[in-house]
Structure 1
């Protein structure tokens, strides 16, 4: 059996809103929206990878809050795990530094205004449930 490579995604929440990031690469994903994140490196804890990826992709200092139940298959041996996360006090505002050309903070009523990548939809749906239940901070 092929070992699965975990990709971490961040449902970055602030003031009851979710951060969406529009892909600029690769070409087949460009223009679609996703939860920011990336691959877990060998020997790295998923939560540490999430913090690192958010720093690299968005220039923010964030902390994971809670793992969203479930995992979603990506291409080949990759699987997506998603955590809710929040900006740490004093963090810079998110900026699209790598692989993205636009960011948007979406209120619950706006979540489906952007074309999400198919694999992110179940995690976004779970995050929306948490947002509307008032469990996310």
Structure 2
């Protein structure tokens, strides 16, 4: 069996909104939106990888809250797992530091206003069904 490499994505929630990040690289993904995150390193817990990746990519201090049910295949051998997360008190505002050129806080009504990466669509649908934000059905 092929080894699976877990990529964690963050459903970063704040004030009733979900953070979306627009890819600037690689070229084939540029301009599409994703849940920020990255690869889990050997020996690292997914929750810890999520906190580390958000610090590196967005310059924020966060806390992983809970795993979103399910996982979604990416290009083999990668698989996407998503965690809800929140900003820690006193954290800086998110800003694109690497791999992204824009960020948007989306309300429940704006969730589908961005062109999500194909692999993130199913995860975003699952987040939507969790009704984790005020005002979400």
**Counterpart contact for 2:16–2:133, Cα < 8 Å:** no
**Counterpart contact for 1:74–1:119, Cα < 8 Å:** yes
Cα pair distance change 1:45/1:89, threshold 3 Å: same
Determine the structure 2 residue equivalent to 1:128: 128
Instruction: Give the gaps of 5 or more residues in structure 1.
Output: none
Cα pair distance change 1:132/1:109, threshold 3 Å: farther
**Counterpart contact for 1:108–1:131, Cα < 8 Å:** no
User: After the TM superposition, which residues 1-137 of structure 1 pair with which residues of structure 2 at under 5 Å, given as runs?
Assistant: 1-131=1-131, 134=134
State the Cα distance separating 1:134 from its structure 2 match.
4.0
**Counterpart contact for 1:12–1:87, Cα < 8 Å:** yes
TM-score by length of 1: 0.95
TM-score by length of 2: 0.95
Give the CA RMSD over aligned residues.
1.5
Count of paired positions: 136
